[in-house]
Amino acid sequence: MGPNFILKGNICYCETPERFTIVEHGVLVCKEGLVEGVYQEIPEAFADFEVRDAGEKLIIPGLVDLHLHAPQYTFRATHMDLELLEWLENYAFPAEAKYKDAEYARKAYGIFVDRLRDSATTRACMFGTLHVEATEILMELLEKSGLHTMVGKVNMDRNSPDYLREESADVSGEATVEWIKDCKKKFRNTKPILTPRFIPSCTDELMENLKKIQLHFQLPLQSHLSENLSEIDWVQELCPTSAFYGDAYDQFGLFGADCPTIMAHCVYSSDEEIRRMKENGVFVAHCPESNMNLASGIAPIRKYMQEGLKVGLGSDVAGGTKEDMFAAMMHAIQCSKLRWRVIDDTLAPLTASEVFYLATKGGGEFFGKVGSFEPGYEFDAVVLDDSRLKDVEPVSVADRIERFIYLEQEEDIRAKYVAGKEVFWR
C-alpha cells in the first residue's frame, strides 16, 4: 500500500468531546500519510487511489496512551495489595532493577511491544527504567513495531534502594545526554522524552541538570503529579518552599513553561495547581484503572475539561493491568460515575463520546495533529470488527462504538495504520 489510498467502512471520530462525527458506509482518504477527508462517495479526484473495503466494520482514529511503564508489564495484574509508595518499594523497584540485564530486557520488552502492536494503540508515551542500554532496546523494538512513541530513560537519584538509584545528579545527567545523542542517530518514530520519575526520586541538582538538558535539546517531559495523599505530603516535606506539588517542578522550569509536558494522575490537584497547569499548557494523563488498583482516588476529569486543561488517557501499566485503551475509556466512565455519586454530585459523569475524545484527539494533541479524521491530521486509523456480538436488529454506529468500549477483545482489532503506514491487516 503506497502513501495514497482509501479505507471504506463505518467511520467514527470526535472533533469535540460532545459528540461523535459519523459517516456510515463512508470513505476515508489518505494522501501522503495525512487524512485528506471523509466522504460518502469516492471523489473524482481520488478515483485512481487503491481502495481497502472494511465492509460493515468500524473505522476510528488510532488510540493514544499518554502514560505507561513498559518495564512493569511483567508483573501486570498482580501485586495490587498496597498503596503507591509501598507498592513502588515492594514491587515496582525490584521489577525495574532486572532491566540492568540487557538479555532480560530484550525478552521482557519483546513481549510488551508485541502486545502493544496488536492493540488499538497507535501512539504512546512511556517510561523505561534508569538503564540506558535497556531503554534503547525498548526503543529499537518500538521502532520496528511501526508505532509512533515517546520513551523516557528514567531519572532517579534519591529515595530508592541502592539497586535502583543513580549514583549522583551528574551521573544521571551524563547518562541522559549520552542516551539522547544515541536516540537522534538511531530512531525516527521513537522519540526521547525527559522523565524525572517524580519529585521524591530526584534531587534539586538533578532537576537543574534536566532543565539545562531540556533547553539544549528542546525535549518534552513526562512525570507524575498529585497521585496519592501520602506522596503529596512527602513532596511538601521534601520541598517546603513549593506552594503546591506542581510548583516543585515549576521552580526548576520543568512544568510545561518551555516544552510540552505530561503529568500523570492529577487526582488531587488544587485550584492553584490547576491554574498553573492551564497557564503552562500541561497535559493531564488520566489513569483511572491505576487510581483504583492503587486506591489512589478519582481524578475530577470533568472539572479539568471545564477549566480548559489538555487531558488524555493513560493505561499506567502496571498500576493499570493492561495496555488496552478501550478498557481505559470504560474505567474513566465508571470512575466518574462513582465520583459523582459518592464525592461530588456537581460534576456529571463522563459520556462515551467524551472518553473517546480523550483517548483520541485529547491525548493525540501531544503528538501534533493526531487523533481525528479532520483534514490534515496524521492518518492513524484502526479497523474494528464487532460482528462477534451478533445483533438481531440494526444497531447505530454510535451505539456500536459505545458497546465496543465495554466488550472489545483484541482479536476484534483487524487493522491498524500509523501516519499512513499499515501496521497490520488481518
Q: Which residues bind Fe ion (CB under 5 A)?
A: 264, 316
Given Fe ion, ligand GUN, none, residue 112, with its beta carbon under 5 to 8 Å by kind, binds none
Given ligand GUN, Fe ion, none, residue 198, with its beta carbon under 5 to 8 Å by kind, binds ligand GUN
Given ligand GUN, Fe ion, none, residue 358, with its beta carbon under 5 to 8 Å by kind, binds none
Q: Is 154 in the site for ligand GUN (CB under 6 A)?
A: no
What is the chain's Cα-based Rg? 21
Closer to ligand GUN by Cβ: residue 6 or 154: 154
**Count of C-beta atoms within a 10 Å radius of residue 2:** 9
Number of residues that bind ligand GUN (CB under 6 A): 11
Cα separation of 393 and 357, whole Å?
A: 28
Binder of ligand GUN out of 117, 148, 191, 224 (CB under 6 A): 224
Q: Report the nearest approach of ligand GUN to the CB of residue 285 (Å).
A: 10
Q: Is 197 in the site for ligand GUN (CB under 6 A)?
A: yes
H or E stretch covering 364: helix 363-364
In the beta sheet, which residues pair with residue 51? 6
Phi, psi of 241 (to 5 degrees): -85, -10
- Report the Cα 279 to chain-centroid distance in Å: 22
Closer to ligand GUN by Cβ: residue 69 or 322: 69
Sketch the per residue contact string, 309 through 328, with ligand GUN: x for CB under 6 A, - otherwise. -------x--x---------
Sheet bearing 381-384, strands edge to edge: 34-39, 19-31, 5-16, 50-61, 381-384, 413-418, 421-425
Give the strand pairing for 221-225 and 381-384.
unpaired
Phi, psi of 172 (to 5 degrees): -65, -45
Please choose, out of 84-92, 350-358, 384-392, 400-408, the segment that lies near ligand GUN by the rule CB under 6 A. 84-92
Q: Which residue shows C-alpha cell 523505561?
A: 128
Q: Is 331 in the site for ligand GUN (CB under 6 A)?
A: no
Closer to ligand GUN by Cβ: residue 128 or 220: 128
Q: Report the nearest approach of Fe ion to the CB of residue 316 (Å).
A: 5
Closest CA to 259 of 305, 329, 194: 194
Binder of ligand GUN out of 23, 63, 88, 413 (CB under 6 A): 88
Q: Residue 246 has which C-alpha cell?
A: 506542581
Closer to Fe ion by Cβ: residue 316 or 386: 316
**Count of C-beta atoms within a 10 Å radius of residue 260:** 20
Q: Is 117 in the site for ligand GUN (CB under 6 A)?
A: no
Binding site for ligand GUN (CB under 6 A): 69, 84, 88, 92, 197-198, 224, 227, 290, 316, 319
